[in-house]
Amino acid sequence: MKKFSTKVLLLTGLLITSGLISCDKNKIITPNYEVTSEQVYSTFSGYTQTMAKVYGAFALTGNQGPAGSGDIQGIDEGTSDFFRLLFYAQELPTDEAVLAWGDPGVPDFHNMNWSSSNVILLGLYERCLYQITLCNEFIRESTPALLSSRGITGNNATVVGQYVAEARFLRAYQYANLMDLFARPPFATDATAVGSSIPPQTTRTALFSYIESELKAIDPLMVAPMKNQYGRADQAAVWALLARIYLNAEVYTGTARYTDAITYSSKVINAGYSLISNYDNLFLADNNKNTTENIFSIEYDGNTIQGYGGTTFMTHAPIGGSMPASFYGISGGWAGLRTTSALVNLFPADTVTSLKGNESHFPNLGNPDTRAEFWSNGQSLAITDVTSFTQGYAVNKWRNVTSTGAQGSNINFADVDEPLFRLSEQYLIYAEAVLRGGSGGSNAQAVTYINNIRERAYGGVAGDIASTDLTLQFILDERARELYWEGFRRTDLIRYGYFTTSTYLWPLKGGVANGTSVGDFRNIYPIPDQDRAVNPNLTQNPGY
């Protein structure tokens, strides 16, 4: 028996020892469903897929379409989408759009009483900065030294080099948004390692200089206009962004840069672009074909690029009331967005008042200006109650059907791409910069460009203007007619001094039926409380 007990002891001892041996205190267990950064960046395809994320962060809200693994935590994932939130911030406080929903933060825009705790602004701020963080990381991982150490050479290295230039462009684009919206965001580039320090706050002027110098620096590194793969930015996108910030430079820095605006809009205009023939086809499911006009777009796809923001929002939110969902290629609308009479009244009267029997006049009810894509059946023009969908005309501009009328690939998610830059805007920048005293352009050329836009809209010369018609007010109105709901209106109204003042009042401005002025500090949005709580370097914008 003793022998046995000894064996038991031995066995016990052995088990304990084997247990001890298997314990490696520093053992790293790696997940099977994720990869380390070394693995990702070891191949060219890994670089491409990381770059796809840098771009994809525009369109998607996370790693799982349509939702479920969001990039931005702590807020509803649908409230972290780039274009949807840009739309909220740029259109809802203006005469172009109202939204029926009472989601947190939304009514503040109509009432123009947003605070620094507004969750929509937080989402937009975080999204822009998140994309910059991705750009910084990509650029850091793509230095020539790192590329060669990882065996990425030859043509692959050249393509990664282009990716880097594009990442710098996207970063500049998002900084430009932040400059416009928040004026003084935190600032970091690829020079600062992840998590190493709390970023300092920049100023609007410094940010302007940075964006300008970045864009000029990458100009020669970008692929030539219209020569890059669809979905990627090219040289013309860089010029178009420069033209846009120069047009607004006086707002941002106090120094007018209209001559530069003319220079760079001209570069885009002369790069070989032309307007597509039919305005109605601009925001349809197959608008990825509109490559002659669209300079750079965010891509969406009903099956492979799914989310609840972007053009899925743009094709669903304005649909409700008596609007047949099938006209819009969707399963049903979200009954939210409409526009105010201020926008409708910029257009001539519709020639058809009811769609019944006149379906062929969809989407613009026979309006001589085909850009008047409004739905008035069952809708009142005037709005007394923002929350009632049937008050205010709905907008037919975005539809998940193709130019031949076919349904998009998915009835729940749109295929429509969202152009961030298109040729019309460059024409309008040119014209406005000329009128505002920039040199290097001519009034006659400006009139020609405006008439290019209007001839497409009217299907002929009926809407042409004369040189005497070209005033700053006309250009602002024309921008509304051409670019409404594309995310420009707030910036435009600020440039004209209209956004907060009583110079221009529109229905419901500031939450009052006939409109009211609000404090000028509202030309700039507040730095969100949430980021100020964790970044002591940030001071609040004045007035908040």
Partner 1 sequence: MKNTYLIKYVFLLLFVFSAATVFAQKGVITGKIVDEANQPLPGATVTVKGTQQGAGTDVNGNYRLTGVSGTVTLQVTFVGYQAIDKVVNVSGNVTVNFNLVPTANDLNEVVVIGYGTEKKKDLTGSIATVTAKDFNQGAITTPEQLIQGKVAGVSITSNSGAPGAGSTITIRGGASINGGNDPLIVIDGLPLSPDAINGAANPLDLINPNDIASFSILKDASASAIYGNRASNGVIIITTKKGAAGKPVINFSTQLSAGTLPKEAPVLSPSQFRDYVNTYGTAAQKAIMGTANTDWQKQIFQTAVSTDNNLSVSGTAGKFLPYRVSIGYTDQNGILKTTDMQRYSTNLNLSPSFFTNHLKVNFNFIGSQTNNRFANNQNGIISDAVNFDPTQPVTSSNALYKPYGGYFQWTDPSAQDGLKSNTPLNPVALLEQTNDKSKAYRGIASLNLDYKFHFFPDLHANVNLGYDESKSNGSTTIPTDAASNYLQPGAANGSLNSGSYSPYNAEQQNKLFEGYFSYSKDVKSIKSHFDAVAGYSIQDFKNIASNGLFPFISGGSTVYSNSEFTDGLVNTTATNNYNSYEYLINEFILTSFYGRFNYNYDERFYLTGSVRSDNSTKFAPGTRTGTFPSGAFAWKISNEDFLKNNPVLSNLKLRLEYGVTGNQEGIGDYDYLAQYSLSTSTAQYAFGSTNYQLYRPGAYFPGRTWETTDAANIGLDYGFLNERITGSIDYYYNKTKNMLATIGQSALTNFGNQITGNVGSMENKGLEFNINANIITTKNIGWTANFNVSFNSNKVLKLTSVAELTGISGGTGNYVNVDEVGYARNSFNVYQQVYGTNGKPIDGVFVDRNGDGTITSADRYNDHSPDPKQIFGFSSDFRYQKWFIGFVTRANLGNYVYNNVASATGIQRNILNPIGNLNNGSSDVLVSGLTGNGSNDLLSDYYIQNGSFLRMDNAHLGYNFGSVFKGAGDLKITANVQNVFIITDYKGVDPEITYTGNGGLAGVDNNYYPRPRTYVLGLNLSLK
- Of 403-432, which residues contact partner 1 (CB under 8 A)? 407-413
Residues 278-297 that bind partner 1 (CB under 8 A): none
Give the separation between CA 313 and CA 27, rounded to whole angstroms. Answer: 47
Give the separation between CA 254 and CA 539, rounded to whole angstroms. Answer: 21
By CB under 8 A, residue 191 contacts partner 1: no
By CB under 8 A, residue 544 contacts partner 1: no
Strand partners, 296: 421
Q: To 10 degrees, what angle do helices 44-59 and 119-140 make? A: 160
User: Which of these ranges, 86-94, 245-253, 332-340, 481-489, lies near partner 1 under the rule CB under 8 A?
Assistant: 332-340
- Give me the amino acid identity at 463: G
* Residue 268 C-beta: closest distance to partner 1, Å: 22
User: Which of these ranges, 83-91, 255-263, 323-331, 365-373, lies near partner 1 under the rule CB under 8 A?
Assistant: 323-331
Choice between 173 and 413, CB closer to partner 1: 413
User: Which of these ranges, 116-124, 209-217, 421-429, 478-486, lies near partner 1 under the rule CB under 8 A?
Assistant: 116-124
Closest by Cα among 535, 544, 511 to 201: 535
Give the separation between CA 488 and CA 492, rounded to whole angstroms. Answer: 6
Report the run of H or E that residue 422 belongs to, with start and end.
Answer: strand 418-422
Compute φ and ψ for 126, nearest 5 degrees: -65, -40
Residues 460-519 that bind partner 1 (CB under 8 A): none
Residues 136-175 that bind partner 1 (CB under 8 A): 136-137
Choice between 270 and 539, CB closer to partner 1: 539
By CB under 8 A, residue 75 contacts partner 1: yes
Q: To 10 degrees, what angle do helices 472-483 and 443-458 make? A: 30
Task: Using CB under 8 A, pick the residue from 320, 438, 515, 526 that binds partner 1.
Answer: 320
Q: Report yes or no: 320 and 394 within 8 Å, Cβ to Cβ.
A: yes
R_g of the chain, CA atoms, integer Å: 26
By CB under 8 A, residue 389 contacts partner 1: yes
* Residue 472 C-beta: closest distance to partner 1, Å: 34
Task: Using CB under 8 A, pick the residue from 87, 246, 283, 334 that binds partner 1.
Answer: 334
What number of chain residues touch partner 1 (CB under 8 A)? 128
Give the separation between CA 487 and CA 90, rounded to whole angstroms. Answer: 5
Report the run of H or E that residue 418 belongs to, with start and end.
Answer: strand 418-422
* Residue 442 C-beta: closest distance to partner 1, Å: 38
Give the separation between CA 327 and CA 325, rounded to whole angstroms. Answer: 5
In Å, what is the CA distance from 513 to each residue of 115, 341, 382, 400?
Answer: 21, 12, 10, 34
Task: Using CB under 8 A, pick the residue from 91, 126, 234, 482 that binds partner 1.
Answer: 126
Residues 359-378 that bind partner 1 (CB under 8 A): none
Structure tokens at 357: 């029997």
Task: Using CB under 8 A, pick the residue from 134, 242, 414, 476 that binds partner 1.
Answer: 134
By CB under 8 A, residue 108 contacts partner 1: yes
CA dihedral for 479, 485, 488, 492, sign (positive or negative) = positive
**Which three-class secondary structure state does DSSP give residue 394?**
strand
User: Which of these ranges, 86-94, 111-119, 353-361, 495-503, lies near partner 1 under the rule CB under 8 A?
Assistant: 111-119
Residues 46-65 that bind partner 1 (CB under 8 A): 46, 48-53, 55-56, 59-60, 62-65
User: Which of these ranges, 132-140, 251-259, 421-429, 455-463, lies near partner 1 under the rule CB under 8 A?
Assistant: 132-140
Task: Using CB under 8 A, pick the residue from 85, 97, 121, 129 that binds partner 1.
Answer: 129
* Residue 150 C-beta: closest distance to partner 1, Å: 15
By CB under 8 A, residue 34 contacts partner 1: yes
Choice between 326 and 439, CB closer to partner 1: 326
* Residue 160 C-beta: closest distance to partner 1, Å: 13
* Residue 273 C-beta: closest distance to partner 1, Å: 19
Task: Using CB under 8 A, pick the residue from 216, 224, 230, 291 that binds partner 1.
Answer: 230
* Residue 295 C-beta: closest distance to partner 1, Å: 16
DSSP state of 384: S
Choice between 434 and 524, CB closer to partner 1: 524
Structure tokens at 199: 């970023």
* Residue 103 C-beta: closest distance to partner 1, Å: 4
Give the separation between CA 496 and CA 253, rounded to whole angstroms. Answer: 15
Q: Kindly give, in sequence order, each residue whose CB lies less than 8 Å from that of residue 11, ignoring residues fewer than 6 positions away.
A: none
Choice between 100 and 450, CB closer to partner 1: 100
DSSP state of 200: P
- Give me the amino acid identity at 62: G
Choice between 41 and 347, CB closer to partner 1: 41
Choice between 278 and 537, CB closer to partner 1: 537
Task: Identify the residue whose tokens are 């409004």.
Answer: 374
Q: Report yes or no: 544 and 113 within 8 Å, Cβ to Cβ.
A: no
CA dihedral for 160, 161, 162, 164, sign (positive or negative) = positive
